[in-house]
Amino acid sequence: MKRLAIVIALGVFATGVTPASAQKTESQPGVTPSFSPVTWERLLNAKDEPENWLMYSGTLDSQHFSGLDQVHNRNVGDLELKWAYQIPQLDRSETVPVVVDGVMFITEAPSNVVAVDAATGRQYWRYNHPLPDDLRICCGRNNRGVAILGETLYMSTLDAHLVAIDARTGNLVWDKELADYRAGYSKTAAPLIVKDEVVTGMAGGEYGVSGFIDSYNAKSGELEWRANTIPGPDHPDNQTWAGDSWRTGGAATWITGAYDPDLDLVYWGTGNPGPDWNGDVRMGDNLYSDSALALNHETGAMEWYFQFTPHDVHDWDAIQVPILADLEMDGEMRKVMMWANRNAFFYTIDRVTGEFLVGKPFAKQTWAEGLDSKGRPIRIPDTFPSAEGTTVSPPVGGGTNWFSPAYSPRTELFYVQAYDGEDTYYKRDEDYVEGDQFTGGGGQRPGPADDYQSAIRAMDPKTGNMRWEFEIQPRSTAGIMATAGDLVFSGSVDGYFFALDAVSGDELWHMNVGRLVHSSPMSYAVDGKQYITIAAGNVVYTFGLRD
């Protein structure tokens, strides 16, 4: 009963409402927690139980915001390490754990998941997904997290499967192949639960695959619908691909989307067109690569799209987590989507219609004069890759990338990890061979890493103007979490995990965690104590206030 009481107290303190889970979450202190099934209603109202982190981005609007405020901008200096969990593989971790009623689920490279006691980091069970030894993966053996519905976890695997795993034991419930890994398909992102379905994307944009977003019946694993990210020849938008280039056009969907229950729309980003750097063989806008898609959840039909980078030749995937919020703009409440894109522009878009509202650079860019009234970039000539190399900002890795941005409804600021870098882009001829990389060029940083800098930038989504920035030397590829304690947590490649004041950007606390932070932070509470977790290198660290 102690936990129940403290959870309620925390919930009231943080949000002013009684957590929905308060009626469901009962356990004795020191006793193994027995989590209640995660119903769709709990996911829908995840904001009301901030002691849990129920999905990849925390809530369906993907704000990556924790409603907990026990750790705040006056006591964050008292954070100390509570526990560490060592992942047995050496790969850099990109996981964002999910926490349900004191149980944490951590995904590991290559395609494994463990359940641990969220208060101690000690293991309950593990599931190791069997994998073939001839995987096609461009960019590391990554897995970013699970989704949960009821008592079942859903996880992507590198051989392009979606697996359902019993959340209490780690037993396999079902295993579904989405596509043939031998053709270059893989899966790395956490799925998204919408009602009683599992919405999920795929990876493989460097292998000439053809992208899609699927929705599966959570219980049976049966496919409900598939939304192809490249329209077939019967669709007029197929004309945006020269010849048959659409067949190998990529537009993968390798990061988790968001969902608006009022509009019943699923929002999802799409990746680069293929081949990445040689656009000569796929003239046209290459729809719907590098786009935000709004899909009706019942049917998978596309309600609208917004293409950030038509005819991309720099590998600037629109693989960012869409953040949804309702903002007052020009005296009118707007349902918006906020998006800091890999192409170095920040966008605010009406998420009902897809209308472009605001767009400005948030990181160094040398490829566009700006955006026109529809949000389409006005390209600067001679910025395409070439045989001899063309140097352009942002670099291949983008002004930002897949790691999560955050939004605080308290400050109404959007926080993004920005990188002011550049690359020299090369183009070459390349034939498509199924299962081989199909990129048509490459990029190379022209100077030493120390010549460039990252920064966390706080953007005003109503204007696109930067409110503050915190410089990071030399670089960060970490996601961001904002909290009700008016804190912003993030990390850096030089092995720091740190907290900033969400209002001013002032640094308040940092800790040397030893290896690069290449994931996004999250927060939860057990027995009334708030914890903050981050994966760094191949270790998951959890911090809490000094006892």
Partner 1 sequence: MSMRSLWVTPMLLALLSLTTAPAALHAQPREEATADNLFTGTLDVRMGQRVFQQQCGRCHGNDGSGGEGGPDLTNGFRSASTDAGLFKIVREGIPNTQMVGISRRSTDQSTWMVVSYLNSLNDTTDVDLPGNATNGQQLFAGKGNCGSCHMVNGDGGRRGPDLSQVGNRRKPDELASDLRTPDEEVDPRWWTLRVTQVDGSLVEGLRMNEDTFSMRLMDDNENLWSFSKSDVRSFDRVKSSTMPSVDGALTDAEVDDLVAYLFSLRREES
Catalytic residue numbers read: 315
**Interface segment toward partner 1; rule CB under 8 A; list 39-47, 99-107, 228-236, 489-497:** 489-497
Query: How far is Cα of residue 318 from the mean position of the Cα atoms in its chain?
Result: 11
> Footprint of partner 1 on residues 379-398 (CB under 8 A)?
388-389, 391, 396-397
Beta bridge partners of 112: 108, 128
CA 130 to chain centre: 25
- Among 6, 138, 242, 539, which residue interacts with partner 1 (rule: CB under 8 A)? 138
Cβ-based neighbours of 330, under 8 Å, separated by 6 or more = none
**Nearer CB in complex with partner 1: 330/388:** 388
Nearer to partner 1, 110 or 201 (CB): 110
Report strand pairing: 454-459 vs 466-472. antiparallel
261 sits near partner 1 (criterion: CB under 8 A): no
Q: Which of 6, 135, 173, 503 contacts partner 1 by CB under 8 A?
A: 135
Centroid of chain to Cα 421: 21
Query: Does residue 371 contact residue 345 with C-beta atoms inside 8 Å?
Result: yes
Q: Which of 175, 280, 355, 436 binds partner 1 (CB under 8 A)?
A: 436
Q: DSSP per residue over 325-373, as a string?
A: EEEEETTEEEEEEEEE-TTSEEEEEETTT--EEEEEESS---SEEEE-T
Rule CB under 8 A: say whether 206 interacts with partner 1: yes
Tokens of residue 227, six digits:
């939304």
Residue 7 host element (H or E): helix 2-15
Nearer to partner 1, 169 or 444 (CB): 444
Strand partners, 195: none
Helix (H, G, I), strand (E, B) or coil at 22: helix
Cβ 253 vs Cβ 192: under 8 Å: no
Q: For every residue of 418-433, which 3-state class applies, written as one string?
A: EECCCEEEEECCCCCC
506 belongs to the binding site for partner 1 (CB under 8 A): no
Contact track, partner 1, 89-108, x by CB under 8 A: xxxx----------------
In the complex, the smallest distance separating the C-beta of residue 277 from partner 1, rounded to whole angstroms, is 10
> Which one, 55 or 109, has the nearer CB to partner 1?
109
Q: Which stretch binds partner 1 (CB under 8 A): 261-269, 358-366, 407-415, 490-498?
A: 490-498
For CA atoms 152, 32, 529, 97, the dihedral sign is negative
Among 366, 444, 463, 465, binds partner 1 (CB under 8 A): 444
| CB of residue 126 to partner 1, shortest distance in Å | 16
Is residue 424 within the footprint of partner 1 (CB under 8 A)? Answer: yes
Q: By CB under 8 A, tell whether 345 contacts partner 1.
A: no
- The nearest distance, CB 428 to partner 1, in angstroms, is 7
**300-308, 374-382, 407-415, 487-495 -> range binding partner 1 (CB under 8 A):** 487-495
114 binds partner 1 (CB under 8 A): no
**Residue 352 backbone phi and psi in degrees, to 5:** -80, -40
Please count the residues of this chain forming the interface with partner 1, following the rule CB under 8 A: 50
Site stretch for partner 1 (CB under 8 A), options 68-76, 292-300, 348-356, 491-499: 491-499
Find residue 38's DSSP bridge partners.
150
Contact between 410 and partner 1 by CB under 8 A: the answer reads no
Cis ω for the linkage preceding 474 (within 30 of 0)? yes
CB closer to partner 1, 291 vs 538: 538
- Partners of 390 in the beta sheet? 425
Q: Considering beta carbons, is residue 297 or 457 the nearer one to partner 1?
A: 457
DSSP readout, 438-454? --SEEEE-SS-GGG--E
Rounded to 5 degrees, φ, ψ at 40 are -60, -35
d(CA 538, CA 517): 9
Given 437, 514, 515, 545, the residue binding partner 1 (CB under 8 A): 437
Binding partner 1 (rule: CB under 8 A), the pick from 420, 430, 486, 501 is 430
Q: Hey, which residues between 8 and 37 contact partner 1 (CB under 8 A)?
A: none
- Binding test (CB under 8 A) with partner 1, winner from 234, 369, 382, 450: 450
Dihedral of alpha carbons 244, 247, 251, 257, sign:
positive
Q: Are strands 539-545 and 529-536 parallel, antiparallel or unpaired?
A: antiparallel
Residue placing its CB nearer to partner 1 in the complex, 1 or 90: 90
Q: Which is nearer to partner 1, 244 or 506 (CB)?
A: 506
- Pattern 220-239, partner 1, x by CB under 8 A: --------------------
Separation CA 267–CA 205 (nearest Å): 19
Which residues inside 464-483 make contact with partner 1, applying CB under 8 A?
471-474
| Number of DSSP helices (H) and strands (E) in the chain, helices first | 2, 38
Give the span between the Cα atoms of 35 and 524, in whole angstroms. Answer: 14
The nearer residue to partner 1, 139 or 380, going by C-beta atoms, is 139
Q: How far is the CB of 89 from partner 1 (least distance, A)?
A: 5
Which of 84, 139, 172, 378 touches partner 1 (CB under 8 A)?
139
Q: What helix, strand, coil percent values describe the chain, rounded to 5? A: 10, 40, 55
Smallest gap from Cβ 269 to partner 1, in A, equals: 19
Q: Is 442 in the site for partner 1 (CB under 8 A)?
A: yes
Q: DSSP letter at 41?
A: H
Q: Report the residue number, 59 or 111, with the smaller CB distance to partner 1.
A: 111
How far is 190 from 57, CA to CA, in rounded Å?
Answer: 9
Which positions lie near partner 1, rule CB under 8 A? 88-92, 109, 133-141, 206, 388-389, 391, 396-397, 424, 426, 428, 430, 435-437, 439, 442-451, 471-474, 492, 494-496, 498, 507, 510
